[in-house]
Structure 1
Amino acid sequence: MIFHVLTLFPDMIRDGFQTSITGRAVEKGLLSLDTVNIRDFSVNKHNRVDDYPYGGGAGMVMQAEPVYLAYQSVAEKLPKKPKVLYMSPQGKVFNQRMAEELAQEEELVFLCGHYEGIDERVLEEIVDEEVSIGDYVLTGGELPALVIMDAVSRLVGGVLHNEDSAEFDSFHDNLLEYPQYSRPEVWRDKAVPPILMSGHHANVEKWRREQSLIRTLERRPDLLENANLTKQDKKFLAKLKEV
């Protein structure tokens, strides 16, 4: 998987991505990061990439041409048009299913805006999808890009040390993950649930599935509408709702 990021702050992207699990994946050649500084494509002698908005208003708007030239510097090297994501609070809210879909791509381009946004004309020209990580506004698109890159990266084969980890994460089957425990067996008078030390794998899996259902019902009941539920799951949830 190759990530191309069009940004005014390439160091922010590199520093955030080339650490921990994703950093090790880059070293192994499983992931690749290409940062493109939009300011390098400024069309004026002062290296400015923004100007006042037509019609007036607060703030500045990133100009179309530097963004387009930065994109072209990436696209012209590729055999086909890459999928371009624009980080925007106006976009579709990112979720695990989107991460799974994006993980099927060979290359992704992230466009990170700043100020009051980017000239609409270049967005219409190059962007395939606007994506948001939540209903709030940040100072720029770099943090959302890092969030999405991280979520997608862990679905790329070989990136996670334990390949089963992604399969049982929260939002697998549109359910929240069950609670996890590690040593010691008793911590501050709180004991690990005995079922987890029983050695009975079928019972452990049943308990974990039920805990996922309980947590989802309590914390994110909206997820259940599209959850992949078995008949047994539905019976268990019905009993919970009766209580």
Structure 2
Amino acid sequence: MAAIDVFPDKPALLQAAAERFVTLASEAIAGRGRFTAALAGGGTPKPLYELLASEPYAAQVDWRRVHIGWGDERCVPPDDERSNYRMTRLALLDKVPIPPANIHRIKGELTPHKAADDYERELRELFGDAAPFGAFDLMLLGLGDNGHTASLFPGTAALREERRWVVPQYVEVVTMWRVTLTAPLISAAANVLFLAEGAAKAGVLRRVIEGPHDPDVLPAQLIQPQAGALRWMLDAAAAAELDKLTR
């Protein structure tokens, strides 16, 4: 069962998420010598990244042992304002001593299929082929108003992928090619953490968490870790329509 943590407001949510990141990083580095995290784009994660780049959080992470990837990317150049990589670089990566070789970006400037193939190859090199799907220590996700997460959008072919780690997907609703991690790879993470805030997310959160299982309509429902932990971190406004909470 997923854990659901509700915080009174957005600042409290972001502080708790930053603390969670630091804790998971410290545990992974102490246990295995490195910490691998796949980050999300969107409006909620950006201030989290800015917080992680500030004190006291930045000093609590051994960034030399951190590997950063992304859950998805728009097919745009890395300096495009729509790029998830660009947002993360400006908010976090440029401000902490993470080695360039530890930054594993999706090359959105390539053709969608080549970008997906190259990224899957890079992730397989990072994790090895010991398991069917690589296991990030942390998979950070957001939730769209239509129930999408990463670039797993309602009604798209990416939702049915069971073997690939990374796929290209043309998303009609945003008229853009995206490259996304697949649901099996996302679900293989040791820790899957959804962040959501604001009253605009209350309805879709209720449908995803408490509604009927219909992942073709609500792709976030596909994310079901078998061995890892699934956690929702929400502010009170986003959680307002939930009937049952596991805190």
Q: TM-score range by the shorter chain?
A: under 0.3
Taking structure 1 as the reference length, what is the TM-score of the superposition?
Answer: 0.27
Relative contact order, higher structure (CA 8 A, sep 6+): 2
- What TM-score comes out, normalization by structure 2 length? 0.27
Please state which structure has a larger fraction of its residues in helix: 1
Q: Which has the larger radius of gyration?
A: 1
